[in-house]
Amino acid sequence: MEIAGAVASMVQCLFGECSSTVSIPEQCSYLRRPKDAVQILREKTELLTAREADVRTKLDEEKMFRGMDPTAEVNLWLNNVQKVKVTLASFEGEIQAKKKCLCGFPNYYSRLKLGNYVSRKIHEVDNLLEQSKFPGSSLVSLLPEKGKALPSSALVGETATIVLQRTWEYLMDINTQIIGIYGMGGVGKTSIVKEINNMLLKEDTHFDNVIWVTASKDSNMGKLQKDIAKEIGLCFDDEDGEMRRARKLFEALRRRRKFLLIIDDLWEAFSLENIGIPISTTVRAGKLLITTRSLRVCRKMEAEREIELHVLSQQEAWDLFKQKAGEEVLSSPRVQDIAKKVAKECGGLPLALITIGRAMRNETKIKYWQTALSELRNSTASIEGMTNQVFAQLRFSYDRLKDDVTRSCFLYCALYPEDHLIEAEELIKYWVWEGLLGRSGSQIDKMKLGEMILNELISTCMLESVYQHGSTDKYLKMHDLIRDMVIALTRDNSSFMVKSGLVLRVLPVENEWHPDLERVSLMRNDISSLCCEPKCPKLGTLLLQYNSIDKGILPTFFRHLQKLEVLDLSYTGIDNLPESLSHLESLHALLLRSCWNLWCVPTLAKLKKLRVLDLTYTPIQHMPEGMDMLQNLRT
């Protein structure tokens, strides 16, 4: 033992590698039994991993049932655990490479160095195990997020103010659990409930949580369940059915006790029990506030209070119209007289008053006002679909856009799913790639032009600018009525096929691919294969991103799409692309971002007009064949 100690001391003096925290006897034990020390470290690491799993389970429960987030101390501990685990995983690899240090002919210096490292890591793991004994109250922050403030604008008209006051009174009434606000689209229901949402966040007495969910015309039970779950931080497993999701939602909401669930723009009634919303006349805790365009939906949802939001009175409508059209309309009695008739044709609908008022802003020429009045009076029957009168007014606002370029760019927005937040930069790039902003000029100039067009569309209320908390990017949203109008408009001339965000599992059948189609959007579905051969010689844009497509693409799928300029297959599970893609000689943009199974791309030699090739986050290791022929490719 004395000889071993002397040798160890000499090694320490000679090499200076040993930590002062490791005693000489410990170092000697590593010289004799290095595998034992490594095994101890492994066992302690397994215990630490189990302890981490327990902490995360408790945190998930607190998030799910009480909406609480982990404390900074807990987050720090979890981060430190991850760092240690990563380090030790790397260390396991080194152990395999240094087996001679553990057995066979020994290298005493390597053993000593290894033992010193193992000792330090055991101390680190021990410290983390000791720190993991968090009292229950110290796991999460004491003040959970009550809700999210929403961007809102001033309410218009006395009617809206009265509905706001009545809704507030019903929310404060302990005997009222379900409230329904109904009225035609664009009348201002969402503005009222946004104001209520923000008012409740500022006061401390009535609700512990305010949960906002936007439904849509295409909502189903599963989608609504997932939307509610997302807002309260609840995660479903892929195999969860509706009943299991309902049970999880019910338990998570029930434990929150005093909550208000706001479901905006509900088109179809659902059973509260089947969704998993714990609202009962015998349990005075949660409340539900819905907005809908149908009194029938209110009644099927068993609303105890039904509030109708009427259109504006004639005077309120004129006051709003003057505000949007500008005081110049008052400069001439003749213009003012026709302007009042135009405002009256809007039927007191705030959305129509705002869009048409802005379209005619500061217009002083009487002939334009006469034309506007004539178009409004005669165009109602020209557009089929929901709320024909509103569509006609929105169609008029579309027709009043300053030029065909702006109108074409506006129509493009309808390719996104309903209620989708559109990233402004991405949208402008699509315009550029399809050539909507011209075929010549620099990329910078085209992006500036696109920004100007966006501002025009926002200023005329054809698009809504949306602020995303914590993001510096600009986002836009198309009102669902306006989107419906655009789809109806483009359906008449068969130029668009829009089936985005509909949870489709199969591709539209071949006879739906009309020869006059110019743009097709099937983004954000669950289409598993592209198994037809569409004959669309005019098709310029094909958007297929966020689909599985894991069963492949028919080899001849692209054969008859000679004019295709924009092809987006990003975020799909494709593992190869057919040779027919190599013949898309008009292609300007090929987007394959995050195609996680894609290992290769066929030759691109013929795609001489290609300007954008996005292979980001794909497993492709070699550039596609024919890249040297792509003289127009831009970085």
Please indicate, yes or no, whether residues 105 and 197 belong to a single structural domain of this protein: no
Question: Residue 190 domain-assigned?
Answer: yes
Distance of alpha carbon 133 from alpha carbon 77, whole angstroms: 11
The per-residue pLDDT for range 415-466, each reduced to its tens digit, is 999 889 999 999 999 999 999 998 888 889 999 999 999 988 887 778 888 8
Distance of alpha carbon 33 from alpha carbon 27, whole angstroms: 10
* pTM (whole model) above 0.85: no
CATH code of the domain covering residue 182: 3.40.50.300
Any idea which residue has 């743009």 for tokens?
519
Asked whether residue 383 carries a pLDDT value surpassing 80, the answer given is no
The per-residue pLDDT for range 496-551, each reduced to its tens digit, is 999 999 889 999 998 899 999 999 999 999 999 999 999 999 999 999 999 999 99
Nearest alpha-carbon partner for 613 in 598, 599, 627:
627
Lowest mean pLDDT among 54-63, 164-173, 236-245: 54-63
The pLDDT value given to residue 382: 37
The pLDDT value given to residue 65: 57
Residue 90 three-state SS: helix
- Distance from the first to the final alpha carbon of the chain: 68
The number of folded domains in the chain is 4
Say what percent of the chain tops pLDDT 90: 34
Please indicate, yes or no, whether residues 605 and 503 belong to a single structural domain of this protein: yes
Please indicate, yes or no, whether residues 202 and 302 belong to a single structural domain of this protein: yes
Residue 541 three-state SS: strand
Please indicate, yes or no, whether residues 302 and 168 belong to a single structural domain of this protein: yes
- Whether the CB-CB separation of 401 and 460 falls below 8 Å is answered with yes
HSE at residue 291, side-chain half, CA atoms within 13 A, is 26
Lowest mean pLDDT among 303-307, 363-367, 559-563: 363-367
Distance of alpha carbon 588 from alpha carbon 610, whole angstroms: 4
Report residue 580's pLDDT band, with 50, 70 and 90 as the boundaries.
very high
- Whether the CB-CB separation of 157 and 311 falls below 8 Å is answered with no
Please indicate, yes or no, whether residues 509 and 601 belong to a single structural domain of this protein: yes
DSSP E strands, 394-548: 422-423, 464-466, 475-477, 496-498, 519-521, 541-543
Distance of alpha carbon 160 from alpha carbon 189, whole angstroms: 8
Average pLDDT rounded to a whole number, residues 48-63: 76
The pLDDT value given to residue 16: 44
Buried b (16+ CB within 10 A) or exposed e, 606-632: bbebbbbbbbeebeeeeebebeeebee
Asked whether residue 2 carries a pLDDT value surpassing 50, the answer given is no
Distance of alpha carbon 177 from alpha carbon 173, whole angstroms: 8
3-state secondary structure 217-276: CCCCHHHHHHHHHHHHCCCCCCCCCHHHHHHHHHHHHHCCCCEEEEEEEECCCCCHHHHC
Please indicate, yes or no, whether residues 274 and 404 belong to a single structural domain of this protein: no
Q: If you average pLDDT over each of 40-49, 54-63, 240-249, 470-479, which comes out highest?
A: 240-249
Q: Helices marked H in 509-615 — which ranges?
A: none
The pLDDT value given to residue 23: 53
Residue 158 three-state SS: helix
CATH code of the domain covering residue 559: 3.80.10.10
Q: Looking at 110, 138, 166, which one is the last position of a domain?
A: 138
Average pLDDT rounded to a whole number, residues 79-102: 69
The residue count of the chain comes to 635
Cα separations (Å) of 448 from 429, 470, 615, 621?
11, 24, 26, 35
Q: Work out whether the CA dihedral 377, 381, 383, 384 comes out positive or negative.
A: positive
The per-residue pLDDT for range 458-474, each reduced to its tens digit, is 877 788 888 776 677 88
Asked whether residue 368 carries a pLDDT value surpassing 80, the answer given is yes
Report residue 60's pLDDT band, with 50, 70 and 90 as the boundaries.
confident
Question: Residue 315 domain-assigned?
Answer: no
Please indicate, yes or no, whether residues 336 and 471 belong to a single structural domain of this protein: yes
The per-residue pLDDT for range 328-349, each reduced to its tens digit, is 777 788 888 999 988 887 778 8
Question: Residue 143 domain-assigned?
Answer: no
Question: Residue 452 domain-assigned?
Answer: yes
- Whether the CB-CB separation of 427 and 413 falls below 8 Å is answered with yes
Asked whether residue 58 carries a pLDDT value surpassing 70, the answer given is yes
The pLDDT value given to residue 537: 95
- Whether the CB-CB separation of 477 and 423 falls below 8 Å is answered with no
Report residue 211's pLDDT band, with 50, 70 and 90 as the boundaries.
very high
Please indicate, yes or no, whether residues 288 and 425 belong to a single structural domain of this protein: no
Report residue 178's pLDDT band, with 50, 70 and 90 as the boundaries.
very high
The per-residue pLDDT for range 182-201, each reduced to its tens digit, is 887 788 899 999 999 999 98
Question: Residue 65 domain-assigned?
Answer: yes
Please enumerate, as own/partner, the contacts of 215-218 that have beta carbons within 8 Å and a separation of 24 or more. Answer: 215/263, 215/264, 215/265, 215/266, 215/267, 216/265, 216/267, 216/418, 216/419, 216/480, 217/267, 217/418, 217/480, 218/418, 218/501, 218/502
The pLDDT value given to residue 105: 46
Question: Residue 146 domain-assigned?
Answer: no
Question: Residue 147 domain-assigned?
Answer: no
- Whether the CB-CB separation of 498 and 446 falls below 8 Å is answered with no
Range of the domain at 293: 157-308
The pLDDT value given to residue 571: 96
